[in-house]
Amino acid sequence: MSKIAMLVGDGYEDSEFQQPYERFREAGHEVVVLGVEAGRVVKGKRGKSEIEIQHTAADMPPENFDAVVIPGGYGPDKLRMDPSMVDFVRRYDATGKPLAAICHGPQLLIEAGVVAGRTLTSWPSVRTDLVNAGAQWLDRPLVEDGKLMTSRKPDDLDVFSQAVLEWLEEPAEA
C-alpha cells in the first residue's frame, strides 16, 4: 500500500485531519504525521482531537512518500513559518506525486512557492493570497490541477478523501 505524509501543525481543523487520516488507514495505507517537533502532541482547534507528531519534515525525505496531505485550520499558518516544512513541500511538489490541501492548507503551498500558474480552491479567506501568488482560484468542492488537489472546507471532506484514495489506486507512470 501507499505511504502518505500528513503535515500537521497546532490548531489544525480537527475533522480535516481526522476524517482523511481514518479513511486512509482503513484503506490499508500507512499514514505518517509530520510536524515541527517530533514527539510533541498537537491539538485540533476545536479540541476534538490531538495527535503526536511522529517526524519532522527535516528528518523525512519527500521522495519516500506516495502522497502528501495538508489539513486546514490554523496549522498551515504555523507550519509555513518552519523553513524545513516549506522546503519539504517544495521538494515534494517537484516529484510530481499527489499533493492535496484543504481549507487553509494552501497557505503552506503559497509559502513553498508552488501555486503560480495553477488552479486551486481553498477557504474563501485564502483566495486573495492564492491569486496574489499567481494561482487561479475556483469556488468548487474539489479542484484538481495535475497531481495538485485542493478542497474548500470540512463539508468537502468526503470528495477530498475519496479523490486522494483514487489517486493512490492509479498505476504509477512508467
Residues forming the active site: 103
> What are 54's three cell numbers?
511522529
Task: For residues 99 and 92, give the distance between their C-alpha atoms in angstroms, rounded to a whole number.
Answer: 8
C-beta of residue 85 within 8 angstroms of C-beta of residue 54: no
